Amino acid sequence: SKINVVIQDGSLEHEKVEQIAAALIDGIDTIDFRPDILSLVSLSVGIVFDQSLDQPLDDILAKCDSAMYRAKFDGKKRFTIYQSFDRTLEISRNIELEMEDALATGQFHVYLQPKVNMITNKLYGAEALSRWVHPVDGVRAPDLYIPLFQKNGFISKLDLYVFEEVCKLKASWEGKKYQHVPISVNMSRLHLYNKHFTEDLENIANKYGIPTNELELEITESTFIKDTHELIRVIDLLQSRGFLVSIDDFGSGFSALNLLKDMAVDTVKIDKEFLQVSSNTARGKTVIRSVIMMCRDLKINVVTEGIETKEQVDFIMRCGCPIAQGFYYAKPLPVPEFIEFADEHLTDIQTNFHFPFNGSLDTPDHTKTAAFTGPGTLHYAPGIYKDSLAVQFEGGAMEKNVVEVPPEVICNDSFSVSMWIYPEQAHSWSSALYVKCETGFYTICPVAWESHSDFRIRDSREVNGWYDLSGLQLQPDIWWHYCITYNAMNETATAFINGVVVSRLENVPTNHFVKRILVGGDVFQPSFIGRICEVRFYNDALDFDEIKELHQSYINDENFVANPAMVS
């Protein structure tokens, strides 16, 4: 930035000086700049009147400066008359004098705030936030310098610096278990005008050998209103290079709701103020819930920011958003503390849950427990392995003598379930599995239609929302390996028997918010009679090869004794 000074000897009226300043400021707008340059050009004027000549010139200039910084601080393109000493402006002025040097000498540090999966308590990612560690003043929070950097354009340099520091860090994590944790960096809207922006980022990522899909760029919502066209172009470019893109502070102001239809961003970050204000009222809660639901329908990830309390954790989880960033889990941490956090919160996120039913209803690590509903007593019978057990289901009226699994084991719209089923009495429409969602349900019926098994999906938002995937009937007194997958990305459901696809259906709408999971029955029909074991839940749609591999791993086990019927 350039500073010019005019000194006048007192023959001008105050009013006249103000008129000249106003004319200068207006004049800038009439110059025919390219629009991208124009957005970076502005004029701020500081005026100081009635100075006595026996004070040093430097003191007069300092007052002038101070007035000019006030003009800048108040939003540029204006003039301000010096009044009195103003401490905040003094700081702003110092910041501008020191910033270049501070960047060059490494005074800007990168702190990392963890993003956590609330269901598993595992690390999901991190956001890089800058801190100015000043040699005299100590740590300066971003609020003090970011707004100023946004006005004077220095933010562009800082953002690229932070981005590069993040790449360096990730490169130094090679071989560590948190090596591939995605890290997001804030990007100011000024970058939109830089034609080489995407290329610059890609070059930096390549320099350190960091895959672009482990780097995310956060762009705040307000940007979306002003620069829609530039933004769509830049987001497309970034995504074409593999970068992840998120909308930051969603819900903080003018909502970018409408733009979501044109911009395939990867993630929406719900603003912390929006959360704090809205989670106090019923209407506010409904809005948050709907935003989360809409994002899920659009296949956009949601991260909720500013989670500070257990109540907020519970509420947001119930809304179907599993990822949180907030003081409840961790503050922005200096790197060594972040590494400690990452080490504790294993990064290989647990997304599958295994209920062997081998004499107990727990997962092997006892972190999840299923419960028998009764009224009968829980019995076990021989399972699929030598000396292993399975739950013996004796049947009963609906919901009777079934096993209830904690609903959070399915926390993703895409999921898979694998189970071994041994029917003993064919009973039409009895369920081996029932997954109740807020918007519908999923069931597995070993016998449904005439000699067919059925994987049924109900979407209760539509009158005719019934989707059936039928395969051969599971004949009694034989162990069958039954798997289902639902892929929310392409809205496809698939049923497998003994590792082989038996049915596949496209355009099946996505159900949300799992409420209940029952094994061995449902709430409509008499309960299942027979045995079930080895129930596995995956929060991911397994592909053909994975299901086949899973099946092989069972039948190739040396203790496997069940004799699966052949499916062709």
For position 337 contacting ligand C2E by CB under 6 A, the verdict is: no
Span from 116-124, 141-149, 171-179, 224-232 in contact with ligand C2E (CB under 6 A): 141-149
Contact at 8 Å (CB) between 404 and 378?
no
**Rounded distance, CA 56 to CA 240, Å?**
58
For position 141 contacting ligand C2E by CB under 6 A, the verdict is: yes
Q: Which one, 186 or 388, has the nearer CB to ligand C2E?
A: 186
**Rounded distance, CA 367 to CA 390, Å?**
20
Span from 36-44, 62-70, 246-254, 353-361 in contact with Ca ion (CB under 5 A): 246-254
| Residue for token pair 């910033």 | 99
Out of 42, 44, 120, 186, which residue is the one contacting ligand C2E (CB under 6 A)?
186
Out of 65, 164, 202, 249, which residue is the one contacting ligand C2E (CB under 6 A)?
249
Cis peptide before 375 (omega within 30 of 0): yes
For position 130 contacting ligand C2E by CB under 6 A, the verdict is: yes
Other Cβ atoms less than 10 A from the Cβ of 105: the count is 10
Out of 114, 125, 251, 306, which residue is the one contacting ligand C2E (CB under 6 A)?
306
**Rounded distance, CA 425 to CA 532, Å?**
13
- Give the per-residue SS3 of 450-463: CCEEEEEEEECCCC
Residues 282-311 that bind Ca ion (CB under 5 A): 305
Q: Which one, 248 or 266, has the nearer CB to Ca ion?
A: 248
Shortest distance, position 310 Cβ to Ca ion, whole Å: 21
Span from 22-30, 188-196, 242-250, 476-484 in contact with Ca ion (CB under 5 A): 242-250
Shortest distance, position 341 Cβ to Ca ion, whole Å: 18
For position 216 contacting Ca ion by CB under 5 A, the verdict is: no
Q: Which does 146 bind (CB under 5 to 8 A by kind): ligand C2E, Ca ion, none?
A: ligand C2E
Shortest distance, position 102 Cβ to ligand C2E, whole Å: 13
By rule CB under 6 A, what string of x and - marks binding of each residue 259-288 to ligand C2E?
-------------x----------------
Sign of CA dihedral 226, 232, 237, 242: positive
Out of 202, 214, 221, 248, which residue is the one contacting Ca ion (CB under 5 A)?
248
- Closest to 136 (Cα-Cα) out of 95, 166, 80, 173: 95
Query: Strand, coil or helix: what is 264?
Result: coil
- Closest to 261 (Cα-Cα) out of 224, 226, 234: 224
For position 125 contacting ligand C2E by CB under 6 A, the verdict is: no
Out of 186, 188, 223, 392, which residue is the one contacting Ca ion (CB under 5 A)?
186
Contact at 8 Å (CB) between 225 and 256?
yes
Max CA-CA distance within the chain?
Answer: 109
- Give the per-residue SS3 of 475-527: CCCCCEEEEEEEECCCCEEEEEECCEEEEEECCCCCCCCEEEEEECCCCCCCC
Beta bridge partners of 382: 389
For position 165 contacting Ca ion by CB under 5 A, the verdict is: no
Q: Which one, 214 or 248, has the nearer CB to Ca ion?
A: 248
**Rounded distance, CA 149 to CA 160, Å?**
13
For position 303 contacting ligand C2E by CB under 6 A, the verdict is: no
For position 162 contacting ligand C2E by CB under 6 A, the verdict is: yes
Q: Which one, 217 or 433, has the nearer CB to Ca ion?
A: 217
Residues that bind ligand C2E (CB under 6 A): 113, 129-130, 141-143, 146, 155, 158-159, 162, 186, 188, 248-249, 272, 305-308, 325-327, 332
